[in-house]
Amino acid sequence: MHKKNGRHLPPAPREAAAFPRLRGPAALPPARLRRGLAAACAALAPLLTPAPAQAGDDYDALILRARAGAHHPALAMLRALGPAGGPRAIQDRILIAGWAGRPDEVAQAYAQLPAGAQPPADVRLAVARALRDLRRWPEALAQFRAGMRAYPSQPAFAAGIAMTLADAGQLDEALAAGEELVRARPRDADARLALAYVHARRNTPFEALYETDRARDLAPGAAYVEREYVFALQRARMAGPALEHATRRPELYTEAQMRRLQADALAEQVRLASMPTRNEADRFAIADRVLAHYDALIPAWSTQGDETRDDVIRARIDRLHALHARYRMRDLANEYEALRAEGVAVPRYALGDVASAYLYLRQPEQAAAIYQQAAQAEESHDDDPVDRLGNQTGRYYSLAEAEDFDGASQVMDETREGYPAWVYVKGQPMRIPNDLHLQSMQVDAGARLQADDTPEAQARLEGMARNAPNNSTLKSELAALYRARSLPRASERTLKMAETLTPRNIGVENGQGFTALALQEWRQAEALSQDTLARAPENQLSRRLAREWAVHDKAELRISGYRGLASDSPVSGSGDFGIDAVVYTPPLDYNWRGFAGGGYANGDFEEGRGTYRWARAGAQWRGRDLTVEGEVSANQYGHGARTGLRLSAAYDLDDHWQIGGSAERLSRDTPLRALASGVSSNGMSAYARWRAHERSEWTLRLSPSRFSDGNQRWALGLDGRERIHTTPHLKTDLTLELSSQRNSLDAERPYFNPRSDLMVLPGLRLTHTLHRRYENAWEQIGTLGAGAYTQQGYGTGGVVALGYGQRYRANDVLDMGAMVTGISRPYDGRRERELRITFDLAYRF
């Protein structure tokens, strides 16, 4: 708005929120309007009265109407008069065109003034402001400076100089001019507003707010000052107070400005929605409240047509973050896809939430593409380090979960280099630890664990935990690594230490739940799962723990079997086949499971065909460190039905040592050829297993048995594996099988019965992941073994074994596989070959 006293400071047209123009005198309060009209009429009266050709009643009426806001009729008349109307008509045109917000016409009319003309202060000010609006900075500055020289008592010219310098990018000169103006006129609100404008251009919004607040104290109740105060609050990201002040005097703002203030206030609440809350139960209160406001505002604005389209789109985009804070990820993804379908370019600042939602929904390919889009944008170089690390972390996990470990490794290389261990903060004399460095190291350790590089992951996490002993998050991650390495008791100890730091931390409790499952602490696992799921049902670890508990609580079917494909061995016979199936009930009173099953085996031998059928039932008890199973069976192998018994137990001494054993009456390990000849056996076994971690395991077994024909057999075995190579999709293990037996009777038995023998079979086992998608995996397995077999009385011969198989796991409830194995070895001095397939299945239902 044009005022002779320079109260109003017009904006640069490219920044609508910064010092917006109040168009024409109609925007003033009535009293101020009357004073302005009186002053303006007094100023223009000398200009109008000597010009009778243009100063008729119609001319005067049009000028007065223009002052009331009807600019176009007067401008049409003044355009028609043109230069012929004289300097006074040209000056009137300049003033009215300025009121109408037509800077081009102001500049055009000014060019029509005679050379050397000295326009009055208000006309020169209108010209200077128009040139500023046209971004003709040198000409605008020249007009402001000329006006300041001609009218030194008018502060509007000095204010215009400061603001124009700021618009032109000469920020230091603008600041000096603004501060000089405030020193000269410390009690002038307009001087304060001019300096506030400079601060706003310098991107120092709080200094701008301070000056605007001072102006408000100097001119309380002034409409234009109140407006600038609200916009200063808005620029300082104090959207809530800005909206609160604006609603007290809504007549000062356009509907579009009010919509933007409302949108800013909601966006401020959205940012708060994702921050930690004092009470866990209130963590979604802000998000729910904000979403309710959006659900009311967006439909209301949408009914107003194209005028509100930009505001509606902005609100829908801001709402994405609220949906993310509320973990309504499916709704977020649907809204994003709807925006894209409408041709809306979703801004980069919202893409992180969108990608995170797709990752949460287990759509890592879509997430990776969106994270990559955000990372490749030009403005990514100016990202805040927190945002950059969040984007890199999201990119890593999306690529890793999509099984693109090469791409994930490249992202981790970027992450390792970007965050120094120490940072220097302005105003702090000493360096301080960089939290982002620790976070990047945590992500790096987690990446190594996900890529199965468990030794390096363990070394890094243990080092970080030692250096930050009070960080419960690090301890939770270290405990998860111990579980992955088959060290549940180490995990338990670590989580107990974390519990002393943050007793109710969701991550700690979920870790304790997983550990309780591994330790067969069933009641504890159930209680922890129920608690974390009730407190944080959206948490993926809580949901994962609940899923594992639900799977544990199911019934189970186990099937195993074999089939001879080709054989010239008298030991196994020809066409041999065997299968065993057992069904376990769901857990009873936590520790107990009943089971029942049966099986069948047959084969053709020199003595004839052997057939064996059995049925069995029993109970299993599982508790911490101990598993005991007992069964009774009915066995039929062509010599009547006989009752068998079996008792087995396994006890964990610690994370590394396990001992166990079994005793059987009518052992199912009796060779089928012996059963076909009416010879049965009772047996016992004992073992000790040492497991360093998931990559190394060795088992020593001793199995005495007594055959019904009087033969006593002692079997001793040692088998183990050592991992020698690991990549995310390929693992290579060295294996070793040592076995020896001694029998009390000679070899003339109706079953293979060497007096003593020894087999040494080192080998190689390769496991290649063909496909993996979260809980679903498809693997192929290859084995190669080459060794020697020595049998008393028959010398030593070579042994070669080859095998190929596949395994498939699905949805935590299905695990099945099959393997074809070929072996060439001597029996009783004769080389014999055998090809067979074995299969197994475990299914929870």
* CATH assignment of the domain containing 652: 2.40.160
599 and 540 fall within a common domain: no
Residues of the chain with pLDDT under 50: 1-55
| Main-chain dihedrals φ then ψ at residue 200, nearest 5 degrees | -65, -40
Whether residue 372 lies inside any domain: the answer is no
Query: Exposed, middle or buried, 38 (CB in 10 Å: 0-12/13-18/19+)?
Result: exposed
In the listed set 220, 253, 286, which residue is the last one of a domain according to the structure? 253
Q: What is the pTM of this model?
A: 0.83
Over residues 512-550, the pLDDT tens digits come to 999 999 999 999 999 999 999 999 999 999 999 999 999
Whether residue 361 lies inside any domain: the answer is no
State the total domains in the chain: 3
> How many Å apart are CA 175 and CA 158, to the nearest integer?
12
Look up the domain containing 560 and give its range.
Answer: 554-844
Name residue 350's amino acid: A
Per-residue model confidence (pLDDT) at position 57:
67
687 and 726 fall within a common domain: yes
The residues pairing with 835 across neighbouring beta strands, listed in sequence order, are 566, 822
Over residues 584-641, the pLDDT tens digits come to 999 999 999 999 999 999 998 888 888 999 999 999 999 999 999 999 999 999 877 8
Confirm if 728 and 696 have CB atoms less than 8 A apart: no
624 and 525 fall within a common domain: no
| Main-chain dihedrals φ then ψ at residue 655, nearest 5 degrees | -70, -15
How many angstroms separate the Cα of 388 from the Cα of each of 327, 359, 382? 22, 17, 9
Per-residue model confidence (pLDDT) at position 28:
32
729 and 824 fall within a common domain: yes
530 and 674 fall within a common domain: no
Whether residue 584 lies inside any domain: the answer is yes
580 and 542 fall within a common domain: no
Name residue 220's amino acid: P
Per-residue model confidence (pLDDT) at position 382:
76
669 and 547 fall within a common domain: no
87's tokens:
């300097």
Please, what is the Cα angle at 49 between 47 and 52, to 5 degrees? 115
Comparing CA positions, the residue from 675, 671, 595 lying closest to residue 627 is 595
Quickly list DSSP for 28-50: S-HHHHHHHHHHHHHHHHHHHTT
760's tokens:
């040494």
SS3 state at 745: coil
535 and 641 fall within a common domain: no
Whether residue 499 lies inside any domain: the answer is no
Whether residue 628 lies inside any domain: the answer is yes
Whether residue 1 lies inside any domain: the answer is no
The 8-class DSSP code of residue 12 comes to P
Sign (positive/negative) of CA torsion 298, 300, 305, 306? Answer: negative
SS3 state at 145: helix
- Residue 587 CA, chain-centre distance (Å), reads 36
SS3 state at 677: coil
694 and 838 fall within a common domain: yes
In the listed set 538, 553, 568, which residue is the last one of a domain according to the structure? 553
520 and 626 fall within a common domain: no
539 and 646 fall within a common domain: no
Q: How many other CB atoms are found less than 10 A from the CB of residue 3?
A: 20
The CATH number linked to 223 is: 1.25.40.10
Per-residue model confidence (pLDDT) at position 56:
58
The residues pairing with 613 across neighbouring beta strands, listed in sequence order, are 600, 636
Give the count of alpha carbons within 13 A of 68, CB side only. 8
544 and 661 fall within a common domain: no
Whether residue 446 lies inside any domain: the answer is no
Confirm if 788 and 773 have CB atoms less than 8 A apart: no
> How many Å apart are CA 290 and CA 267, to the nearest integer?
9
- Residue 324 CA, chain-centre distance (Å), reads 10
- Find all residues with CB under 8 Å of 236, minimum gap 6, and list them: 205, 206, 208, 209
Whether residue 240 lies inside any domain: the answer is yes
In the listed set 253, 285, 318, which residue is the last one of a domain according to the structure? 253
